[in-house]
Amino acid sequence: MSVSGITEAATVRRAAAAISRAAAPLVRCERLTVRFVGREGTVHAVNGVDFTLEAGEVLCIVGESGAGKSVTLRAMMRLLPDHRTQIAGRITVGGKDVLALDRRALGDLRGGEVAMVFQEPMTAFDPVFTIGTQIIETVKRHDGLSERAARQRALELLEMVQIPSPARRVANYPHEMSGGMRQRAMIALALSCRPRLLLADEPTTALDATVQIQILQLLRRLQRELEMAVLFVTHDLGVAVEISDRIAVMYAGRFVETGSVRAVIRAPQHPYTQGLLASTVHGAMRGRRLEAIPGAPPNLAALPPGCAFAPRCRYVEAACATAVPPETWLDDARMARCIRVTANQSSA
């Protein structure tokens, strides 16, 4: 299929998505819980996460390292080690229960309906095979194309992600490309079978600022053209604003605030979100000092009984130490998990 053919297929998908959107979300995650069991104790990595994702929508999960963001993505692809991981809850993609799929069905889902872009491309590419070979084999596996047709698709995909001289680059090994070029090639690999859902795990963190902006713009353009849903993970609120429609702020394995980009940035409700904004460089910070969030994230093997953010919170009250704050919904799409937030507050 040519690049124009890929775009035409996306147009058809866009029409179908408009119909399916009214019926059910593409992704539904319900009470997702992930535990890592080891000799030194149990790490409570994800603690009852709920969210939905519509076709063609971009949801960004934001938080510090260790918040549970990447674990959530890997649980959705079932990439966590079985021998020491306990997963509970339910994850459905296109109506399929991901956690209940057998090995063959899971293989069809990965790459076919759901693809993943990693922070470091070398974790996705095998260093002993060329970029072209790996894209070709993926296309043959999922679409059943001939060698010649799969090679042509590989060239078209490299062109689509704006890699110059694709006929030459298709013969490159991963180490022969720059970091930004490898990242583009990994995006091409992820999109090779036209997935409905793309999971992006901090794909721009290791890149310099100029290349980072280029990759974000490329992802956003391809997401719109191909009508993909994207679940994007980052620790950078600036990146989240650039790429997403909605934001979910994650702390100690829980979503502590969710809402549209506009609502969360303009009127953050949770103290942690406020702290992230105060410590992030953006236009509104001109002339103001950056304020670091005091303290450090909690030990996930020994979470406190109350609000996990309480030891770092400037508004902490005695009640914060006794129980995990419930979710308070300000409207259908706006949630904050803090005892200071009431349902009749304006979410701006």
List, for residues 144-179, the tens digit of each pLDDT value: 889 999 999 999 999 999 999 999 999 999 999 998
CB–CB of 335/255 below 8 Å? Answer: yes
CB–CB of 270/345 below 8 Å? Answer: no
What pLDDT, on a 0 to 100 scale, did the predictor assign at position 20? 45
Q: How confident is the model at residue 21 (pLDDT cuts 50, 70, 90)?
A: very low
CB–CB of 276/292 below 8 Å? Answer: no
pTM to 2 decimal places: 0.88
Task: State the average pLDDT over residues 113-127.
Answer: 87
Q: How confident is the model at residue 124 (pLDDT cuts 50, 70, 90)?
A: confident
SS (H, E, C) 109-162: HHHHCEEEECCCHHHCCCCCCCHHHHHHHHHHHHHCCCHHHHHHHHHHHHHHCC
Instruction: Work out the angle between the directed axes of helices 131-143 and 103-112 (0-180°, nearest 10).
Output: 120
CB–CB of 215/239 below 8 Å? Answer: no
Edge-to-edge strand order for the sheet containing 96-97? 41-53, 27-38, 85-93, 96-97
Beta bridge partners of 334: 331
CB–CB of 49/251 below 8 Å? Answer: no
Stretch (H or E) spanning 97: strand 96-97
Beta-carbon neighbour count of residue 162 at 10 Å? 16
SS3 57: coil
Mean of pLDDT over the chain: 89
DSSP string, 164-229: SSHHHHTT--GGGS-HHHHHHHHHHHHHTT--SEEEEESTTTTS-HHHHHHHHHHHHHHHHHHT-E
Closest among 126, 94, 119 to 108, alpha carbons compared:
94
What pLDDT, on a 0 to 100 scale, did the predictor assign at position 51? 97
CB–CB of 135/145 below 8 Å? Answer: no
Q: Which CATH architecture has domain 3-244?
A: 3-Layer(aba) Sandwich (3.40)
Amino acid letter, residue 86: Q
R_g of the chain, CA atoms, integer Å: 21
Task: State the average pLDDT over residues 125-138.
Answer: 93
Q: Look at the alpha carbons of 99, 100, 105, 107 in this order and tell me if their dihedral is positive or negative.
A: positive
In this structure, what is the dihedral angle of CA atoms 263, 266, 271, 277, given to the nearest 10 degrees?
120
Ranges 15-24, 214-223, 328-337, 339-348: which has the least confidence: 15-24
Domain ranges of the chain: 3-244
Q: Would you say how long the chain is, in residues?
A: 348
CB–CB of 9/1 below 8 Å? Answer: yes
Beta-carbon neighbour count of residue 32 at 10 Å? 23
